[in-house]
Amino acid sequence: MSSIATAAVSSRIGHLEGCAAATSSYPGSRPTDCVALSNDTVLVDNTVVSAKWSLTADKFGFTNLCAAVTIRNDNKSTYFFNDFNMTLRPPKGNVTVLNFTAKHALEDGFIAPGGTARGNICFDYFGQAGQYVAMYSPRAHSPIRGIWLVDLS
């Protein structure tokens, strides 16, 4: 298994072509989840969201699970994004939020129609082998989530 996964996500409700047709079960799954494909061409909330996952050492020498994230706004209005829209569930444990160690962090801001935001996000990694579930929720309390299944051996 690779420690790197590349994916993009889309809503099953509005963009069937953007979700994986068949997926394995994962903790906390919802019927409105859209599990990522292996390409970067799908949508969540009219935004293209892609992420490339890898294990990365921070400046203190600790290993983190990080993603290089790109968000492109395909809406007709300004889109607000926040790096807290992404959370991570390790193979054994509870959902966690980012840890602020990323170089060139995604942070938050507004994207004009047709615009793009890029940056990195990182989560603590404690050496657990297995499947990590990364979740992108475009808005608070949104029923639609983009899901990356990141397998680390």
| pLDDT of 139 | 79
Alpha-carbon span 116 to 8, nearest angstrom = 15
Q: Which residues pair with 38 in a beta bridge?
A: none
Q: Which residues pair with 122 in a beta bridge?
A: 66
Task: Judge whether residue 134 has pLDDT over 80.
Answer: yes
Domains of the chain: 5-17+32-152 (2.60.40.1240)
The pLDDT tens digits for 4-50 are: 433 434 333 443 556 777 677 888 888 888 887 665 445 678 888 88
| pLDDT of 31 | 85
The pLDDT tens digits for 40-64 are: 445 678 888 889 899 999 888 999 9
Mean pLDDT of 69-81: 92
In the chain, % of residues over pLDDT 70: 83
